Structure 1
Amino acid sequence: MKLKDKVAIVTGAGSGMGKSIALLYAKEGAKVVASDINPETTQAVVKEIEEAGGQALAVVANVAKEEDIQNLVDTAVDEYGTVDILVNNAGIMDNFVPAANVTDELWERVMAINTTGVMRATRKVLPIFQEKKSGVIINNASIGGLYGSRAGAAYTASKHAAIGLTKNVAFQYAEYGIRCNAIAPGGVETNIGSTIDNPDPFGMKKAMSGAEFNPKNGNPEEIATIALFLGSDDSNFVNGVVITADGGWTAY
């Protein structure tokens, strides 16, 4: 088992990539703290892990709220004694709204979940990692964080910021044995589309202009295997990188 006795927090674990990561981590021996804003789906993931013989704990959290982040990490430590891996997976789309049409409300909501939540969870675990001189942070970004038009202005900016934070943390805390990496998925079959409501026609047309070059969509399990690699000792010398997982879409 690649993660035997490790304690891993996974946000957005109620569905999609977060669920697949939580299930695979548990299968590989981790004690999983599964977090999501939806209590029913979070508990269902924990039940699935436990029925398969794994260990897991459900913590309902809105990553846009500082108090929820505090409670998430504190609960993990109270239950399992420490945290070894943080997977910042929770995220939302932005209706493909371009810069000319973006509202403060949309901008702030997307940034709060996709960027500020990542920062707060990272800030919370770093003292734990520093004290024991080890720890892994994995940020689920997007090819939208590497290229200019795979989404609207807010989502694109939020994922670019998350990648910048990834690199900053990786370099500044490497001397403590802490690694911080990111995954940049392309088209993956998840329910993040449920966070899209009344998409902006102009923005969506621009964002979809390269869609015909996408060879195929991936599945959440394929992203989970990358998260396993980054969370395990197999990637001990990998720090501050972004692994693009898009089936070759952005290689054209």
Structure 2
Amino acid sequence: MKVNGKTIVVTGGGSGMGRELVLGLLRRGAQVATLDINEENLLETARLAADYKEKLSTYVVDITSREAIESLVDLVKEKHGAVDGIINNAGVIQPFVDVNELPYEKIEQVMNINFYGTLYMVKSFLPELLKRPEAHILNIASMGGFLPVPGQSIYGASKAAVKLMTEGLHSELMDTNVGVTIAFPGAIKTDIMKNSQVERASSSDTSGKEYKLTTAADAAKMMIDAIEENAYRVMVGNDAKMMDRLYRLAPKKAASIIADKLKDAGK
């Protein structure tokens, strides 16, 4: 589905990949409705998109509220006339601790935002998407959704749930007008740790050399391209591509590599 002239709803559009998705879609001629729980961040996104202000609408919404998401459908239709696609980007990571040390409060928060927030968006907007001549759903999982990362087991579980739900949706909708794509970002240069209130050392190895991160703008471009190509899935970043291949060939070895790298970096 070409995004030019389409209306796309983007969650988590106040920062990081979400903001870059909003800006990238607008530059390609789409109308965008974006939501975020942080009003200040949304205002900054709107400021950066000032040249497209007639095509952008913003909403301060908690995606863990099913009622709020259900109410959003009519608000977006009232502003833009219809909805042609959704991008489920909003998400949080967990504190870098083992499951044994992670409180239930944090576990529930991660699952509610990452999985249930995505589910509420899909369930609320899918009836509208099915009415369109063509439409698309892009759900963002994570490299951690197919590859275990110590200290991020619950985050990974939430993204694995998004992965399987999205792949199931693709099968359910293959004979309809709605395309479905699952995205697996690797290490992306965003503020997700700060926004998730997670404390962690900087992304560097023991020699002080920084890991090369995919920029949020590059990640957004890859995902918008995937929508336009009706891709089944998209690996975002060379690290995600490499670890996907390795994990399918030798899952235990791939898991050990990630565990060792984190151990060596003192994470």
Decide whether aligned partners of structure 1 residues 105 and 53 sit closer, same or farther in structure 2, where only a CA change above 3 A counts: closer
- Taking the aligned partners of 1:158 and 1:164, their CA distance within structure 2 comes to 10
- Taking the aligned partners of 2:24 and 2:113, their CA distance within structure 1 comes to 24
Q: Which residue of 1 aligns with 2:262?
A: none
Q: Which residue of 1 aligns with 2:67?
A: 67
In structure 1, runs of 5+ residues without a counterpart are: none
Q: Which residue of 1 aligns with 2:238?
A: 247
How many residues align structurally? 237
When the two structures are superposed, what TM-score results if normalisation uses the length of structure 2?
0.81
Q: Which residue of 1 aligns with 2:198?
A: 197
- Taking the aligned partners of 2:71 and 2:43, their CA distance within structure 1 comes to 17
Decide whether aligned partners of structure 1 residues 247 and 54 sit closer, same or farther in structure 2, where only a CA change above 3 A counts: farther
- Taking the aligned partners of 2:227 and 2:71, their CA distance within structure 1 comes to 23
Deviation at 1:50, TM superposition (A): 3.0
Q: Secondary structure at the match of 2:187?
A: coil
Is the contact made by 2:36 and 2:61 (CA closer than 8 Å) also made in structure 1?
yes
Deviation at 1:183, TM superposition (A): 1.2
Deviation at 1:228, TM superposition (A): 1.2
In structure 2, runs of 5+ residues without a counterpart are: 247-267
Q: Which residue of 2 aligns with 1:50?
A: 50
Deviates more, 1:9-18 or 1:146-155: 146-155
- Taking the aligned partners of 1:34 and 1:96, their CA distance within structure 2 comes to 29
- Per-residue CA deviation, residues 75-117 of structure 1 (Å, 9 max, x unaligned), is 1111111111100000001012322222221111100000001
- Taking the aligned partners of 1:180 and 1:56, their CA distance within structure 2 comes to 23
Q: Which residue of 2 aligns with 1:95?
A: 95
Deviation at 1:198, TM superposition (A): 4.8
Is the contact made by 2:84 and 2:132 (CA closer than 8 Å) also made in structure 1?
no
Deviation at 1:147, TM superposition (A): 0.3
- Taking the aligned partners of 2:150 and 2:21, their CA distance within structure 1 comes to 24
Deviates more, 1:99-108 or 1:166-175: 99-108
- Per-residue CA deviation, residues 39-85 of structure 1 (Å, 9 max, x unaligned), is 12112212322325661001111111112212332211111111111
Is the contact made by 1:106 and 1:154 (CA closer than 8 Å) also made in structure 2?
no
- Quick check: 1:122 aligned with 2:119? no
- Taking the aligned partners of 2:99 and 2:12, their CA distance within structure 1 comes to 27
Decide whether aligned partners of structure 1 residues 150 and 29 sit closer, same or farther in structure 2, where only a CA change above 3 A counts: farther
Q: Secondary structure at the match of 1:222?
A: helix
- Taking the aligned partners of 1:39 and 1:147, their CA distance within structure 2 comes to 33
> Alignment RMSD, CA only?
2.4
The one-letter code sitting in structure 2 at the alignment partner of 1:25 is: L
The one-letter code sitting in structure 2 at the alignment partner of 1:41 is: N
Q: Secondary structure at the match of 1:58?
A: strand
Q: Which residue of 2 aligns with 1:177?
A: 177
When the two structures are superposed, what TM-score results if normalisation uses the length of structure 1?
0.86
- Quick check: 1:40 aligned with 2:31? no
Is the contact made by 2:193 and 2:199 (CA closer than 8 Å) also made in structure 1?
no
Decide whether aligned partners of structure 1 residues 150 and 227 sit closer, same or farther in structure 2, where only a CA change above 3 A counts: farther
The one-letter code sitting in structure 2 at the alignment partner of 1:60 is: V
- Per-residue CA deviation, residues 231-251 of structure 1 (Å, 9 max, x unaligned), is 32xx13x33x3x222323525
Decide whether aligned partners of structure 1 residues 55 and 151 sit closer, same or farther in structure 2, where only a CA change above 3 A counts: farther
Identity of aligned residues (%): 26
Deviates more, 1:187-196 or 1:24-33: 187-196
Is the contact made by 1:27 and 1:54 (CA closer than 8 Å) also made in structure 2?
no
The one-letter code sitting in structure 2 at the alignment partner of 1:222 is: D
